[in-house]
């Protein structure tokens, strides 16, 4: 199976499964029925076309004219939820938009809210109690690993500045800046005094 059809099939199946599981997402899909939105992803230089009906069809190749065309980095998509951001992103050359702005907003809202409820999916296979325990445990492990990473980063920073003396400590930098300011103000006073003496002479 060629790569592009495989990618579009995975995206399409995932989105439709998530929407089917959430009635609110289903209502949002209904508002987009009959629309065609084309998205060019700058990171991979690929264009995907989203055709909305009872479900979402994702196409790698589309011959027709879309109702809305977007060219952006995937990280920018959540920002499209607010209309004020759209104008800002266009001015910053982070977004190219052709067509209906409100349609782009509805699409961004639907895409960013399509997040899997892992606990719900797990509960179908394991039951509610086991699923809740697994998700809670995974969350706690993730938080522990994050706190350990921050702790290690702080320790490395202290080793670099205090033990190895590769970079000055923040207080040393502040003290040096204060000294530079003192020298500058002293030099300014000397210059002013010298100018006064020259004027008298």
CATH number of the domain encompassing residue 37: 3.30.1050.10
Q: Is the pLDDT of residue 55 over 90?
A: yes
Instruction: Give mean pLDDT, residues 45-73.
Output: 92
Is residue 48 domain-shared with residue 130, that is, in the same domain?
no
Q: Is the pLDDT of residue 64 over 80?
A: yes
**pLDDT greater at residue 122 or residue 88:** 88
Identify the band that residue 35 occupies on the pLDDT scale cut at 50, 70 and 90. Answer: very high
Is residue 168 domain-shared with residue 108, that is, in the same domain?
no
For residue 117, give both structure tokens: 């409820």
pLDDT at residue 81 in the model: 78
Count up the domains in the chain and report the number. Answer: 2
Is residue 25 domain-shared with residue 104, that is, in the same domain?
yes
Instruction: Give mean pLDDT, residues 24-38.
Output: 92
Is residue 33 domain-shared with residue 112, that is, in the same domain?
yes
Which of 85, 116, 147 finishes a domain?
Answer: 116
Task: Quickly count: other Cβ atoms within 10 Å of residue 138's Cβ.
Answer: 12
Is residue 18 domain-shared with residue 110, that is, in the same domain?
yes
Percent of the chain residues topping a pLDDT of 70: 90
Identify the band that residue 1 occupies on the pLDDT scale cut at 50, 70 and 90. Answer: very low
CA end-to-end span of the chain, whole Å?
A: 93
| Cβ pair 50, 64 in contact under 8 A | no
Identify the band that residue 67 occupies on the pLDDT scale cut at 50, 70 and 90. Answer: very high
The pTM for the full model equals: 0.58
Is residue 110 domain-shared with residue 124, that is, in the same domain?
no
Residue-averaged pLDDT of the chain: 83
Instruction: Give mean pLDDT, residues 181-192.
Output: 88
Q: Is the pLDDT of residue 141 over 80?
A: no
- Helix ranges, 71-164 (H): 83-91, 101-113, 118-126, 128-158
Radius of gyration of the chain (CA): 29
Q: Is the pLDDT of residue 121 over 60?
A: no
| Cβ pair 129, 137 in contact under 8 A | no
Give the start-end residues of each E strand in 112-194. Answer: none
The residue segments making up the domain with residue 124 are: 119-200
| Cβ pair 173, 181 in contact under 8 A | no
């Amino acid at each position: 199976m060629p790569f592009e059809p495989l990618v579009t099939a995975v995206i399409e199946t995932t989105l439709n499964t998530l929407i089917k599981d959430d009635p609110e997402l289903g209502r949002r899909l209904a508002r987009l029925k009959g629309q065609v939105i084309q998205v060019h992803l700058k990171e991979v230089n690929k264009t995907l076309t989203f055709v909305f009906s009872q479900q979402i069809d994702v196409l790698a190749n589309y011959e027709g004219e879309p109702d809305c065309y977007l060219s952006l980095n995937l990280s920018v998509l959540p920002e499209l939820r607010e209309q004020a951001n759209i104008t800002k992103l266009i001015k910053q050359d982070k977004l190219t938009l052709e067509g209906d702005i409100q349609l782009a907003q509805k699409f961004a809202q639907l895409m960013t809210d399509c997040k899997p409820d892992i606990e719900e999916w797990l509960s179908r296979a394991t039951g509610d109690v086991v699923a809740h325990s697994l998700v809670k445990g995974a969350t706690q492990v993730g938080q522990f690993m994050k706190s350990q990473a921050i702790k290690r980063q702080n320790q490395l920073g202290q080793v670099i500045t205090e033990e190895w003396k590769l970079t000055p400590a923040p207080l040393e930098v502040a003290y040096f800046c204060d000294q530079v300011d003192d020298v500058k103000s002293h030099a300014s006073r000397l210059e002013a005094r010298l100018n006064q003496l020259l004027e008298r002479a």
